[in-house]
Amino acid sequence: MKKLSLAFCCCFVSFLSFGQTAKNTLAIIPEPVKTVIKPRQFILPKYVTIQAPLTKDVVLVTEYLKRKLTGAAGAMVTLKANSAAPAAIKLLLNKKADTVLGKEGYHLWVGAKGVVISANEPAGLFYGVQTLIQLLPKEIESTEVQHVKWVAPCVDITDYPRFGWRGLMLDVSRHFFTKQEVKQYIDQMVRYKFNLLHMHLTDDEGWRIEIKSLPRLTTVGAFNVKKVGEFGDFSAPTPDEPRTYGGFYTQEDIKELVQYGKDRFLNIMPEVDVPGHSLAAVVSYPELSCTAGADKYQVRSGEHMMDFGAGGIKALVDNTLNPASEKTYEFLDKVMSEISQLFPFGYIHLGGDECAKNFWEQSADVKALMAKENLKNMEEVQSYFEKRLETIVESKGKKFMGWDEIIEGGLGPKAAVMSWRGIQGGITASKLGHEVVMSPTTFAYLDYMQSDRVMEPHVYASLRLNKSYEFEPVPDGADAKLILGGQANLWTEQVFNFRQVEYMTWPRGFAISESVWSPKAKKNWNSFYPRVEKHFARFNEAEIKYAPGVYDPDFKPQMNTDNKLTVEMTTEIPGLDIYYSFDNSYPDRFYPKYTGAVEVPKDASQLKVITYRGKDPIGRMISMPVAELKRRVGQKGQ
């Protein structure tokens, strides 16, 4: 690693060795389709002319690039439409479409005397600009002028996405994030060529979008009692606790966010989660429930409300819409009418996941519906609901999408499926001829812990960066033609602020971006993680938070043949050294170095570890209780 660092420094000191060291400094995420590195380098002048056709969408690209160059590089930027004028950077729309590039692909040529980006569409120019920015020094991400040598390697890049659907989902219901924070998230997404933000707008904890014909959804349904701690285990709110925590987006806010995304070639897909996860709607309009007493319900603040046991999902209060009532469908028609006008994107996500049916089973209305429609079980009741909702959505000119539970009981004729409970739902739906977006928990759930659970807010599963990088959107057995793409999902039960949103998204978002953009054959963990580390440095410049869990070791405790507790430790990134202590002091590189399974001393209470690269600490100090190690191997009495 010392040799690599020396080479990295040398390329800024001398141009002579640049051609040999360029591969060590090139860190593009997602990996382009084809990259040819050439000798020499492009030096960004102080006075930069950007030549481009000044059409509306191309101007969006040139203004974006201008902001980056003036903000961090302090360049004086001039925009010109005259193709004959000399220019340091040229953006060109192909007169004859390059069929290889498609709508979002680009060709980027960086030479010693200038930069040329060509594409069929403005979106391709935008993504070419993102790659150009990644070729510049990390200081380009700063919000203040930086005095460094503004150079980029000479390259010839041909690039285009593998999938048209490249998304991240942000849950703004469990905790509300402001319009400005959503804009920040969009800005971070487009750096890595994501083109879809899926906004989870409604749930038991809050209804986040203004529906003018149903005002109580936001005057009542958008607020709960503020709680901190571990979501799901909060104490029940008392009557005197103020219900002032939350918020919602006005329709003008939504229009502004949609336009903000559009200006960055990103769509926003709304999700209204029904028929389950609908407590905020039921509290606002109790007549939507099939259960007596719903008028006494309150919007959930994170108290225990759902049981996920072997016998299926059971709700302690009825958080479902009544599938047997016409009032439900009249309500949904009003909601879809307004939402369809706010979001130009062609799909509306209608949830359908984790619908607890124990209150339906007790409902006379639902039983009557089953008899009338010849529905054999509760899955078919939900299917009846989904098909009617699909008809409503299609009447508004939109396509219906739901989580993979909507397969159970029978899919509607044109429903698209988002597969989250692993990959099987996506395989099944595609074989039935339905469009699919893959977002399996196995690889793409960003709310999962990304380091050891002693370091992370507790949720029910873990997802390391290297596992997320294994995401393959077209699983064996699926009809590849119907796989639209993939996305990662960030549920926010345990995410209380926007800095934690960033922490949970990155770097696993890098892995997802590469899985949905780059060719499958180009994915390689050993080339990926060094690029991730270079982007950590870029995030430091941008002051974007990220998780350093990739440097934290995995712990594997077990009992040896002498019935003594031992622990093995491994790291995702190779070449790191682990130092440890059992005496409650904080280890550094002068402490014992891990070389193999370590026996835990009989009376030890804490194992402390830290990772180093050479002489430099790189990981976090981790304190692992010995009692936790014993619990993991199932020792009784612990």
Which residues are tagged catalytic? 203, 277, 354
Q: What is the rounded CA–CA span in Å between residue 197 and residue 542?
A: 21
- Report yes or no: 447 and 490 within 8 Å, Cβ to Cβ: yes
Contact criterion met (CB below 8 Å) for 35 and 155? yes
Q: What are phi and psi of 210, to 5 degrees?
A: -65, 125
d(CA 126, CA 121): 9
- Identify the three-state secondary structure at position 296: helix
The DSSP code for 293 is T
H-only helix segments in 72-157: 122-135
Count of CB atoms situated within 10 Å of the CB of 596: 7
Q: Are 93 and 125 in contact (CB under 8 A)?
A: yes
- Report the alpha-carbon distance of residue 217 to residue 209 in Å, rounded: 8
- The per-residue b/e assignment along 143-155, b for 16 or more CB within 10 angstroms, e otherwise, is eeebeeebbbbbb
Q: Tell me how crowded residue 372 is: count the other CB atoms within 10 A of its CB.
A: 9
Task: Give Cβ neighbours of residue 9 (< 8 Å, ≥ 6 apart).
Answer: none
* Residues 246/176, Cβ–Cβ less than 8 Å: yes
Contact partners, residue 438, CB within 8 Å, separation at least 6: 418, 419, 423, 426, 444, 471, 473, 474, 475, 483, 485, 486, 487
Closest CA to 352 of 412, 302, 306, 394: 412
